[in-house]
Amino acid sequence: MFITFEGLDFSGKSTQAKLLVERLRQQHSIVHFIREPGGTAISERIRDILLDKQHLEMSDTAEILLFSASRAQLVTQAILPALMRSEIVVCDRYCDSTTAYQGYGRGLDLDAVRSINALATQSTSPDLTVLVDIPVDEIELRKSKAGLSFDRMESSGREFYERVRNGYKRMAAEEPARWIVVDGTEPIPQIQATIWKTVETKMKNQKVQHV
Ligand code: TYD
């Protein structure tokens, strides 16, 4: 079972991913929790290059290829072997982030993005993708409340985030069997319960298919 979490920065998706992993670990022996970009030694080094605030000159093409290089290593080294052993993999971001941020956000050609994603993931698609959706206004609010300094990606402007959000929504609408969209402005336990219900149903259905 392969589950991914997607959403804008500060959407709360990482919190929800963590809560899901904790719950799954109470019932299943092996649950891998991976964050993107990162998850292997090589991928973590690529992550540092990508998020470094000094790297303002990075071209959009270099950016997508670095995210994808990081993912290619992760898929080969960690995700595929775990799925082959029928273990559960939960990923905080995956190739839908690339479609949303580099495709819809930066405006790179969507067909090219699709090809790069297929290559990087060996066409390994999640069984379920959770989109934690929040309005861009809410991000601004959460950002200023947190009072943190931002990495290179998080310093992108408001219009960029609007495009990314709309891209996510479009992807979810195009593939409703794989995606669920949860309202990230709801209380954390409520969102968690909605996600858990969907995961349980997916798992039951998968078991039925394998019998
Ligand atoms: P991170 O600090 O992990 O953010 P978050 O906790 O919100 O996931 O940084 C990841 C940043 O990289 C985030 O701004 C989204 C962006 N990103 C892309 O632009 N493309 C991608 O393919 C991935 C995986 C992430």
Cα of 144 vs centre of ligand 1, distance in Å, is 19
pLDDT over 90 at 148, yes or no: no
Cα of 46 vs centre of ligand 1, distance in Å, is 12
Among 90, 93, 143, 171, the mutation site with the greatest number of ligand 1 atoms within 8 A of its Cβ is: 93
Cα of 35 vs centre of ligand 1, distance in Å, is 9
This prediction's pTM = 0.93
The per-residue pLDDT for 211 is 54
- Structure confidence by residue, pLDDT tens digits, 197-206: 999 999 988 8
Q: Is there a domain that residue 171 lies in?
A: yes
CATH code for the domain in which residue 198 is found: 3.40.50.300
Q: Is there a domain that residue 16 lies in?
A: yes
Q: Is there a domain that residue 209 lies in?
A: no
| Host domain of residue 12 | 2-204
Average predicted confidence (pLDDT) for the chain = 93
The per-residue pLDDT for 44 is 94
Task: Calculate ∠ Cα 195-75-62, nearest 5°.
Answer: 105
Q: Is there a domain that residue 103 lies in?
A: yes
Residue 95 in contact with residue 121, Cβ under 8 Å?
A: yes
Rounded distance, CA 101 to CA 98, Å? 5
Backbone φ, ψ for residue 24 (5° rounding): -65, -35
- Positive or negative torsion for Cα 14, 19, 22, 28: negative
Q: Is there a domain that residue 133 lies in?
A: yes
How far is CA 171 from each of CA 45, 62, 131, 185, rounded to the nearest angstrom?
Answer: 29, 24, 10, 20
Q: Is there a domain that residue 200 lies in?
A: yes
Q: Is there a domain that residue 50 lies in?
A: yes
Residue with the smallest CA separation from ligand 1 atom 10 is 37
Residue 20 in contact with residue 196, Cβ under 8 Å?
A: yes
pLDDT over 90 at 186, yes or no: yes
Cα of 153 vs centre of ligand 1, distance in Å, is 7
Distance from chain centroid for Cα 70: 14
Cis peptide preceding 126, ω within 30 of 0: no
The per-residue pLDDT for 207 is 76
Work out the burial of residue 91: count CB atoms within 10 Å of its CB; fewer than 13 is exposed, 13-18 middle, 19 or more buried: buried
What domain count does the chain have? 1
